């Protein structure tokens, strides 16, 4: 019997397993449905889209979306040790101080910016950006570097965005991490010498040889075993059979914003009416398990390029050789090579991101580019819309029913932010030096203007940027499923430590935020 069982070996689970076993005093079993991240497309930064709908991807789809003419939205999620940190765009971001101060103000005590910034700092090992040495970490396990071979189109985008006035005059620095931000930058990435360096590499891989860590792969947790009000272990399906793993201290759920509420509901912890309809015995009626799903909606805006500079030719033998030998060239690209943040409503914190890609992004990344192009994902980073995650059936192997709820906010603020972002990107494209590289708009098309036209275009083109959060939010109010100490209310020995506990989705790319939550969870569990 182990002291603790961690369910899910993704970003949060990898950090937890590495941290909890470091002292040698705690025995841990890490249970993961996938396997090892054994693929060159994981190590190769530009290989990210090649992993979509592969055996290393859960490849979820949303429920038919009424606001998108009944279309389902593709939802890639990493099914492997390291999880989505092994198939994301590697953008390293602490996110905005207002995110965490907002969490604390709404009941997540101990999670303000002043509480979390030191954790981000101690976790990272930043290479470069000498001007940021006072506020950034240099000795942590998470390796971070500046993008090694930024595309010329990417450099032109950042220069044009700054020339167009993005960011306060005089306030633009070379670092968007460690404080408030508004402006444009080439991305900082979770890479080491041009190769992906995920939380698997940072935390789990060094721990695999420890005698107090058992990693169980290819194992689906079908439910948490609750006995006399306490989490005593988990029931695991591996191959054709099921067996029980028991824990002396308890269970930590780290299966993500989709997996954690699914497992809780399968365990009889969730909305009682939903559970009874599926014939599941109710252990605890918690209405908000699976509610409050938040995601960043993304609308692609693509331009034709005048010169053949884009990643369309990334897979050439010369580029492959450059990456294999030196970790440079187009295959070292994280695809999302630059980020820009702005406010559509004049607020001090941004609500719009322009995620720049030096390639024609087609079909949610599932289709290869047809022409040399570039563009951006216009992203609403402070969405007001909410969705949900519910069981589709009592079959634990069935994927959950995911209602993304995109653009469902009643006052239409999310749609207005999208429209603002589209026009902002068009203004940047019309500004030198990027204007010299553009040869017309591919999608949505120059005639698609205004909120009504953008909404109509969203029916066929809106996707997400794959940042689901908040389905088991933490707080001090009675409706919050999880306490600020990451305990699930009403069940002893059961903790949640992943993106599902975030009260709101952060303004940016939250992989480092998930790792920070897990790092703090390790301290809370050790105490």
Instruction: Report, as residue numbers or ranges, the catalytic residues.
Output: 467
Query: Which residue, among 77, 87, 177, has the nearest Cα to 507 in the 3D structure?
Result: 177
Q: Would you state the structure tokens that stand for residue 342, as one six-digit string?
A: 């702005």
Q: Is 67 exposed, middle or buried (0-12, 13-18, 19+ CB in 10 A)?
A: middle
Determine whether 399 is exposed, middle or buried from the number of CB atoms within 10 Å of its CB (0-12, 13-18, 19+).
middle
Give the angle subtended at the CA of 452 by the CAs of 451 and 454, to the nearest 5°.
Answer: 65
Q: Token match 């920070």: residue?
A: 516
- Strand, helix or coil for residue 352: strand
Alpha-carbon dihedral sign for residues 239, 242, 243, 244: positive
Helices assigned H by DSSP within 215-302: 256-266, 272-277
Q: Which two tokens stand for residue 221?
A: 């947790």
Q: How far apart are CA 252 and CA 285, in angstroms?
A: 20
Q: Which residue has the tokens 């709404």?
A: 106
Q: Nearest Cα to 378, choosing from 359, 353, 345? A: 353
Residue 424 falls in which region: left (phi positive, over 0), alpha (psi -120 to 50) or beta? alpha
- Length reported for the chain: 527
Q: How far apart are CA 211 and CA 357, in angstroms?
A: 44
DSSP 170: T
């Amino acid at each position: 019997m182990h002291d603790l069982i961690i369910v899910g070996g993704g970003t949060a689970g990898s950090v937890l397993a590495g941290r909890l076993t470091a002292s040698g005093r705690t025995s841990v079993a890490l249970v993961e449905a996938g396997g090892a991240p054994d693929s060159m497309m994981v190590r190769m930064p530009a290989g990210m889209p090649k992993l979509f709908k592969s055996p290393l991807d859960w490849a979820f789809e949303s429920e038919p979306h009424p606001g998108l003419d009944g279309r389902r939205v593709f939802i890639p999620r990493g099914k492997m040790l390291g999880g989505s940190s092994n198939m994301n765009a590697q953008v390293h971001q602490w996110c905005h101080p207002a995110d965490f101060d907002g969490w604390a103000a709404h009941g997540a005590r101990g999670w303000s910016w002043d509480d979390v910034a030191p954790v981000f700092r101690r976790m990272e090992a930043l290479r470069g950006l000498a001007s940021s040495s006072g506020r950034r970490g240099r000795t942590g396990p998470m390796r971070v570097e500046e993008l090694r071979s930024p595309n010329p189109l990417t450099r032109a985008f950042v220069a044009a965005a700054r020339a167009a006035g993005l960011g306060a005059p005089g306030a633009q620095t070379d670092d968007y991490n460690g404080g408030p931000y508004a402006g444009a930058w080439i991305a900082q990435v979770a890479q080491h010498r041009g190769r992906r360096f995920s939380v698997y590499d940072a935390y789990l891989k060094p721990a695999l040889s420890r005698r107090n860590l058992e990693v169980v792969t290819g194992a689906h947790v079908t439910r948490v075993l609750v006995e006399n009000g306490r989490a005593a272990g988990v029931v695991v399906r591996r191959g054709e059979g099921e067996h029980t793993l028991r824990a002396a201290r308890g269970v930590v759920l780290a299966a993500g914003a989709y997996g954690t509420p699914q497992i809780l509901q399968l365990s009889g912890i969730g909305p009682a009416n939903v559970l009874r309809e599926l014939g599941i015995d109710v252990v605890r009626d918690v209405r908000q398990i699976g509610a409050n799903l938040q995601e960043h909606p993304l609308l692609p805006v693509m331009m034709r390029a005048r010169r053949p500079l884009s990643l369309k030719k990334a897979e050439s033998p010369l580029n492959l050789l450059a990456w294999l030998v030196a970790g440079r060239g187009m295959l070292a690209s994280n695809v999302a090579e630059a980020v820009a943040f702005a406010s559509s409503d004049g607020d001090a914190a941004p609500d719009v991101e322009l995620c720049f890609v030096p390639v024609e992004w087609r079909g949610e990344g599932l289709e290869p580019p047809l022409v040399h192009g570039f563009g951006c994902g216009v992203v609403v980073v402070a969405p007001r819309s909410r969705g949900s995650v519910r069981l589709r059936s009592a079959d634990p192997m069935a994927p959950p029913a995911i209602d993304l709820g995109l653009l469902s906010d009643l006052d239409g603020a999310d749609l207005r932010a999208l429209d603002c972002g589209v026009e902002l990107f068009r203004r940047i494209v019309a500004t030198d030096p990027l204007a010299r590289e553009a040869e017309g708009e591919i999608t949505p098309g120059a005639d698609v203007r205004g909120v009504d036209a953008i909404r109509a275009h969203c029916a066929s083109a809106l996707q997400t940027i794959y940042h689901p959060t908040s389905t088991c939010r933490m707080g001090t109010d009675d409706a919050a499923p999880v306490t600020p100490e990451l305990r699930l209310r009403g069940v002893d020995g059961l903790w949640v430590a992943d993106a599902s506990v975030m009260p709101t989705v952060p303004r940016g790319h939250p992989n480092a935020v998930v790792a920070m939550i897990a790092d703090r969870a390790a301290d809370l569990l050790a105490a």
